[in-house]
Structure 1
Amino acid sequence: MKKLHYYLADVFTEEVFGGNQLAVFPEGQDVPEHLMQKIAKELNLSETTFVLPPTNPANDIKLRIFTPGKELPMAGHPTIGTAFVLLQQGYLKPTGNQLIFEEGVGDITVNFEKKADKLGLITMAQPLPQFGATFTNTQILADLLSLNPSDIDTDYPAQVVSCGVPFFYIPLKTLTAVKRAKLRQDVLENQLSHLGAESVFLFSTETENPAHAVHGRMFAPAFGIPEDPATGSACGPLGCYLVHYGVVPSESPSHLICEQGYEMGRPSLLYITIGQENKKITSVQVGGKSALVGEGYFYLY
């Protein structure tokens, strides 16, 4: 029998039982590759990560990320949560405040704050945005979310945007509409599969906390995630969308806070920073805090 050590963390929160759950296997080289997806499905968290030696010795680690349904080329809360676990448990002891993770989209820079041996905000850089297809049929959008066409905010486009992973963003007029929404997977598969995004992110600038810029929800049934309490890989493109279309004041850099997970009883805060020069987006960063929940062993017979 083989024992695989793993940690559980809640990411994008300072308190346990909030944020997004993550399992981290810090010695991923001991995990047979063909079992990684099965282990992620068995744990059934939004994501599970396996830490491997880097291909480039100048980098810190290679990271593989799995949802219960498939492997991802990059993701926000697994990157930030894995950095938190590795730093807190002493697997990584950098001389500075920066790490380089190898992920499916390339090298990802991770920065962290540490005061009196306590980890604070951990931030990851994301690839620059790619703005994809738009969709203008408000009736189909309303059907997708089990809402009324009048709930869709047509002042801004429903559009696919990616900073490594594509999401379909749908602006809604009110916080109440965001809370009422229920995703219909049949509409997503039958009417919107041509868009090139399997995940839907809906949002409103009406928020629970007036200090926050946006309230969001993310659905990814194709990835085995009915709803996600905090989605770092979606908040980078979200910030780009908000800045690009002037939904929020255009500053450089723009600092935004997205609240997510409230409908699931797992409130999460994601800190977004979008850099610009001459009205062109030049940098994308998403960050948050984490809390260690527990640790254990996974048995292989």
Structure 2
Amino acid sequence: MSSYEYVTVGVFTSKRFGGNPLAVFPDAKGLTDGEMQAIAAEFNLSETSFVLPPDNPQHHARVRIFTPKAEIPFAGHPNVGTGYVLARMLDNPPEHFTFEEGAGLVRVHVLRNDDQVICGARVSAPRALSLDIAVPIDLVARCAGLAPSDISTELHQPIVASVGTPFVIAEVASVDVLARARPDLAAFRDGARHIAELSERFNLHLYARKDDFLHLRARMFAPLIGVLEDPATGAANAALAALLTSLAPGENVDLHYEIEQGIEMGRPSQIIASARKTGEGPVLATVAGNCVPMMRGTLDI
């Protein structure tokens, strides 16, 4: 029997019992794929991360991320939380970590508060913005338990966007409409069955503008991978920031979005998502937030 230490943290929050919970296994050497998946299912959090030795010694770690039902190539809150946990374990942590992940190399910058205490992390998405298919408005509405008229197309149609993990991103008419959204599992299954591009990853990220273009509230539903609703989704909000920045007027644009998530779940989260576009290059995104330690323990396998 082998013992594995784990730590849980709240991500994208400065208060206990808020944000998105994450379990981190700082030394997962020896765990099989099946054991990692079983552990993630046992914790039943949006994601659980497992830290392994890097394939390239110039990098800091290989990080694998599992939802309760599947491994995913990249996610924001596991990287923010894993960077925070690893930095706090070291006497002299680096300014940034480089993690090897399914979507590519992920750079995680360690954040400190005014007292120079480690308080969170900023993650650079591993890929530039890519856009895929437009998704029918009526399907998005059915999946969210809303009417088609609740979906706003003033700025863009519902569309698959990714900076490492794909999400269907759609704007809704108001924060009140967003609060009324309820995921419909049958509609998600129907969409995945009939639209080939959604068959493996049908993750729906809804957002509404609050006061202006840069202050948003969001909700993310991914019931097909075991996440009915996520309290804070870094990868989705990084993709959202990249998408909105790509649509902003001008060739050289650098925008920062303050995004609330988890409000309806009673787990308020605060996410800073930023994106930059130039006339010469792709749209790149980062996502940042604070973390708080919660629990630690040992799992025997």
**Residues 1-301 of structure 1: matches in 2 within 5 Å?**
1-90=1-90, 93-94=92-93, 96-115=94-113, 116-126=115-125, 127-136=127-136, 138-155=137-154, 156-191=156-191, 193=193, 194=195, 195-196=197-198, 197-206=201-210, 213-246=215-248, 252-278=253-279, 281-300=282-301
Determine if contact 1:274/1:281 at 8 Å carries over to the other structure: no
Determine if contact 1:240/1:281 at 8 Å carries over to the other structure: no
Unpaired runs of 5+ in structure 2? none
- Shift of residue 143 of structure 1? 2.1
Q: CA deviation digits over 1:102-142, x for unaligned, max 9?
A: 11111111112235441134111111011010024x33332
Determine if contact 1:259/1:267 at 8 Å carries over to the other structure: yes
Q: Distance in 2 between matches of 1:147 and 1:267?
A: 23
1:157 partner SS: coil
Q: CA RMSD in A?
A: 2.1
Amino acid at match of 2:256: H
Amino acid at match of 1:98: H
Q: Distance in 2 between matches of 1:54 and 1:277?
A: 33
Q: CA deviation digits over 1:185-207, x for unaligned, max 9?
A: 21122135514341001111126
Determine if contact 1:21/1:45 at 8 Å carries over to the other structure: yes
Determine if contact 2:188/2:224 at 8 Å carries over to the other structure: no
2:253 partner SS: coil
2:121 partner SS: strand
- Shift of residue 30 of structure 1? 3.7
Amino acid at match of 1:218: M
Q: Distance in 2 between matches of 1:144 and 1:30?
A: 39
Q: Distance in 1 between matches of 2:158 and 2:213?
A: 25
- Shift of residue 212 of structure 1? 5.7
Tell me the percent identity. Answer: 33
Q: CA deviation digits over 1:31-59, x for unaligned, max 9?
A: 33431100110111111111111111111
Amino acid at match of 1:150: S
Determine if contact 2:245/2:277 at 8 Å carries over to the other structure: no
State the aligned residue count.
Answer: 294
Unpaired runs of 5+ in structure 1? none
Q: Distance in 2 between matches of 1:262 and 1:249?
A: 33
Q: Given the two structures, how large is their TM-score scaled by the length of structure 2?
A: 0.91
2:29 partner SS: helix
- Shift of residue 251 of structure 1? 6.6
Determine if contact 1:254/1:273 at 8 Å carries over to the other structure: yes
Higher mean displacement: 146-155 or 250-259: 250-259
1:29 partner SS: coil
Determine if contact 1:132/1:161 at 8 Å carries over to the other structure: yes
Determine if contact 1:243/1:249 at 8 Å carries over to the other structure: no
Higher mean displacement: 222-231 or 271-280: 271-280
